[in-house]
Amino acid sequence: MDALEELVPFLSKSARLDLRVVSLSHVLGITGSAEGIKLLITNEILLKNLLDLTTDESVAKDAILCLINITAEEFGASAIVDKLSERLVPAAYEAILDEDCKLSDAWCMVLCNITRPEQLVEPVLKHLLSIEFALEKLTTCFTRINYNKQKCHLNYLGPLFSNVSQSKAGRAVFCNQTTGLLGRLLPFVHHDGSVVRRGGAVGLLKNVCFDSSVHAWLLNEEMDVLPFILLPLAGPEEFDDETNEKLPVDLQYLGPDKKREEAPDVRQMLVESLAQLCATRKGRLHLRDHGTYEILRELHKFECSPEGDKAVLAAVENVVDILIR
């Protein structure tokens, strides 16, 4: 603890550069263990200095890496939200919006980490929503491929959106029919380039499906989320003409090259989205009438194979039980 106290002055922006670099490197090493993080979060001045150093170009990368490591642990994320969120959230937001920022991906990861625990979503979201159109602008960054000119991909905005939608207030922003954010994000459910981006979009969709009050809207002709859920669950299996007629157009006659979603956790979230949509009678009827059972029947066979996953299998059986009642 005494050694840590001695480091604090050297982490100030007013300290000599060589001392800042060495001290920050030492702190970064300490963040490599849970015990080290527990030690660091007891020193509020040190944490504030770390945030200050994220604007010092010579050491900003290591300072943000420290914040990523600290917030990767739930108790670390809780401490950062408690002590720094009022300054950290706007700083992260501005960095992500800056198309010339080299550290936008790192800042996305910090925001993702501090919104993963459900109890931290509301305080972080409060700061985000205090910035006019913050989630709308972040959605633009996410949906505009190559938005960042420094080769940051912004994939971790996907999990951030998923995390934020754990909150009713967060879901309300994404389900705003005027701004159409959900409709802009749905195509990323099928994004091939990044499982992080794809998983984030699916997580958002699953959380939105949790709210039965928007089910009629989600399943209407305008939004029509069902094909987005079913398509990644479908494989190369052939159906007869009668079954194909039941299926949404995007799922008809897919052919032998159709590949199923590879990530089990993403498949599980998709199936759990279907379970949520079964909460109302209209939802169950809509799913039955549009070939959901037939897609899940083939998915069940896949999940029973060596390539399958037991957790996904259990989720499939849960939905099938509801649909065949």
pLDDT tens digit string along 14-52? 999 999 999 999 999 999 999 999 999 999 999 999 999
pLDDT for the residue 218: 97
Helix/strand/coil percent split, the chain, to 5:
70, 0, 30
Q: How confident is the model at residue 6 (pLDDT cuts 50, 70, 90)?
A: confident
d(CA 129, CA 170): 9
What CATH fold (topology level) applies to the domain 84-210? Leucine-rich Repeat Variant (1.25.10)
Q: Is the pLDDT of residue 237 over 80?
A: yes
pLDDT for the residue 5: 87
What would the mean pLDDT of 95-114 be, rounded to a whole number?
A: 98
- At 62-80, the pLDDT tens digits run 999 999 999 999 999 999 9
Q: How confident is the model at residue 1 (pLDDT cuts 50, 70, 90)?
A: low
Locus of tokens 């897609």: 295
d(CA 215, CA 280): 8
pLDDT for the residue 135: 97
Output phi, psi for 116, to 5 deg: -65, -50
pLDDT for the residue 254: 86
For the purposes of burial, counting CB atoms within 10 Å of the CB of 122, is it exposed (0-12), middle (13-18) or buried (19 or more)?
Answer: middle
**Of 157, 62, 76, which Cα lies nearest the Cα of 109?**
157
The DSSP secondary-structure symbol of 182 reads H
Residues near 253 by Cβ (< 8 Å), separated by ≥ 6? Answer: 244
* Structural contact between residues 269 and 206, judged by C-beta atoms closer than 8 angstroms: yes
Segments making up each domain of the chain, as ranges: 1-72, 84-210, 212-324
Q: Is the pLDDT of residue 2 over 80?
A: no
For the purposes of burial, counting CB atoms within 10 Å of the CB of 240, is it exposed (0-12), middle (13-18) or buried (19 or more)?
Answer: exposed
* Structural contact between residues 259 and 286, judged by C-beta atoms closer than 8 angstroms: no
The DSSP secondary-structure symbol of 307 reads T
d(CA 7, CA 40): 11
What would the mean pLDDT of 294-309 be, rounded to a whole number?
A: 96
Task: Enter the tokens of residue 324.
Answer: 């065949």
pLDDT for the residue 293: 96
Locus of tokens 């979503």: 121
The helix/strand/coil state of 144 is coil
Q: Is the pLDDT of residue 291 over 70?
A: yes
**Of 184, 182, 171, 173, which Cα lies nearest the Cα of 133?**
173
* Structural contact between residues 300 and 317, judged by C-beta atoms closer than 8 angstroms: yes
To the nearest 10 degrees (0 to 180), the angle between helices 60-72 and 17-30 is 20
What would the mean pLDDT of 299-321 be, rounded to a whole number?
A: 97
* Structural contact between residues 312 and 271, judged by C-beta atoms closer than 8 angstroms: yes
d(CA 106, CA 220): 38
Share of the chain above pLDDT 90, in %: 91
Q: Is the pLDDT of residue 194 over 90?
A: yes
Q: Is the pLDDT of residue 255 over 90?
A: no
Mean of pLDDT over the chain? 95
pLDDT for the residue 54: 97
For the purposes of burial, counting CB atoms within 10 Å of the CB of 17, is it exposed (0-12), middle (13-18) or buried (19 or more)?
Answer: exposed
| This prediction's pTM | 0.95
Share of the chain above pLDDT 70, in %: 99
* Structural contact between residues 24 and 59, judged by C-beta atoms closer than 8 angstroms: yes
Q: Is the pLDDT of residue 100 over 90?
A: yes
- At 198-229, the pLDDT tens digits run 999 999 999 999 999 999 999 999 999 999 99
**Of 71, 99, 103, 102, which Cα lies nearest the Cα of 85?**
71
Q: Is the pLDDT of residue 96 over 70?
A: yes
Q: Is the pLDDT of residue 320 over 90?
A: yes
What would the mean pLDDT of 125-142 be, rounded to a whole number?
A: 97
